[in-house]
Amino acid sequence: MNLKKLLAGSALVTGLALFSAAAVAEESVEVLHWWTSGGEAAALNVLKQNLEKEGVTWQDMPVAGGGGEQAMTAVRARVTAGNPPTAVQMLGFDITDWAKQGVVADLNDLAAKEGWDKVVPAALQAFSKYDGKWVAAPVNVHSTNWVWANKKVFDDLGIAQPTTWDELIAALDKIKAAGLTAVAHGGQPWQEATIFDAVVMSTGGPDFYKKAFIDLDPAALNSPTMVEAFDRMAKLRSYVDDNFSGRDWNLASAMVIEGKAGVQFMGDWAKGEFLNAGKVPGQDFLCFRFPGTQGTVTFNSDQFVMFKVGDDRKAAQEKLASAIMAPAFQVAFNKVKGSVPARTDVDGSDLDACGQQGMKDLAEASEKGTLFGSMAHGHAAPAAVKVATYDVITAHFNGEMDSKTAAEELAKAVAAAQ
């Protein structure tokens, strides 16, 4: 009898252990993202650690490629197979496209409980929500029209921070004459489009940018102003080194960090690379708006789209979404990442000089109506239009067509993509 009791007790303990192990196994999230560079990985680690404190295991699914194109290919394969990740890093209209397919989760209850509607800017909510339903948790706001400069290079050559196109060209001429690479650039379509965003804004101003890239006005796309913007891109191409083709953006950042190049035109995620290398804003590097775009901000926002998962994974998924939206995490993450918080109610005093400037610029642009989604990063027009612009911009940058032809082809490509 005692033996039977012992065996029964043993079976009960074993069963409880198995149940406990299964419960723990359920508290995990599988996250697909393209944050693979040093600064990005450090920023993401903040989220991983916060979730671990909540008892949630992080299963990492990194897909290299700064613009996220390869990541979207991986997502399609997983969703088609009926096995979506818990969450996927996504940008702009890509979120809307997936929401239309009915495969994303409903976060409305969590959003209502935590008051997301009151603290997330409307420009971001346009992508975080679909058909009135929260489907994604925004982690940051990146602005794309930044210049990153090596301060020692500028000081040694007596270069003042340029505020106009002509001043920028004069500065680049000095850097090139000194035997350095003037513009650190990675020859990938999304990187060229990032520069083009700033060049178009600088050349034509906010109203022209809106007409061309948000309204998709054919007359603006194929206009003398757009031809001039392409001419300016051709000029910038003359300051790039011969080995730029295929270079990842963070390797271009490293050229500026190491003093091998003067400037990089890149979104504020580049700051994470400088900080990760132990560099200090104002002391080792400079951050300023692309000349001619002061007072305006082109943005993108990294968001984590939550896909429909089984009931056994929903609790962990909600913990992930809640952790992303936590004010303390938003500050800690963006401090490392280079971006600014997606929430408007956080204290940014702990951010560095560039981060504080970014928050100030964002607030100013939002108030003035000069805050625009970035075409290059899928926040101005749907993905098909974005990709169509990539092809023309890169072909022109590589010398395959002149500026007049490029403007004509841009208008045609955008019309065909709609």
> Domain map of the chain by residue range?
29-142+300-356, 145-297+373-417
State pLDDT tens for residues 172-218.
Answer: 999 999 999 999 999 999 999 999 999 999 999 999 999 999 999 99
Strand partners for 91? 302
Distances (CA, A) of 339 to 17, 299, 301, 354: 44, 10, 9, 9
How do strand 136-138 and strand 302-306 relate by DSSP bridges? antiparallel
How far out from the chain centre does Cα 49 lie? 22
What SS3 state is found at 262?
strand
d(CA 122, CA 126): 6
Strand partners for 142? 300
Please tell me the number of Cα atoms within 13 Å of 259 on its side-chain side. 10
Q: Which residues contact 237 (CB under 8 A, 6 or more apart)?
A: 397, 399
Contact 232, 200 (CB under 8 A): no
Provide the pLDDT for residue 338: 81
Provide the pLDDT for residue 67: 65
State pLDDT tens for residues 284-328.
Answer: 999 999 999 999 999 999 999 999 999 999 999 999 999 999 998
Contact 303, 138 (CB under 8 A): yes
Contact 315, 27 (CB under 8 A): yes
For 29-142+300-356, CATH number?
Answer: 3.40.190.10
Q: Tell which residue, 250, 267, 286, 292, has the closest CA to residue 145.
A: 267
State pLDDT tens for residues 35-86.
Answer: 888 878 888 888 999 999 999 999 999 998 766 778 889 999 999 999 999 9
Contact 85, 32 (CB under 8 A): yes
Fold of the 145-297+373-417 domain: D-Maltodextrin-Binding Protein; domain 2 (3.40.190)
Q: Tell which residue, 381, 395, 393, 402, has the closest CA to residue 96.
A: 381
DSSP state of 400: S
The rounded percent of the chain whose pLDDT value lies above 70 is 93
pLDDT band at 13 (very low <50, low <70, confident <90, very high): very low
* H/E segment holding residue 371: strand 371-373
Judge if 29-142+300-356 and 145-297+373-417 fold alike in CATH terms: yes
What are the DSSP E strand ranges found in 3-128?
A: 28-33, 57-62, 87-91
Is the pLDDT at 15 greater than 90, yes or no?
A: no
How do strand 57-62 and strand 129-130 relate by DSSP bridges? unpaired
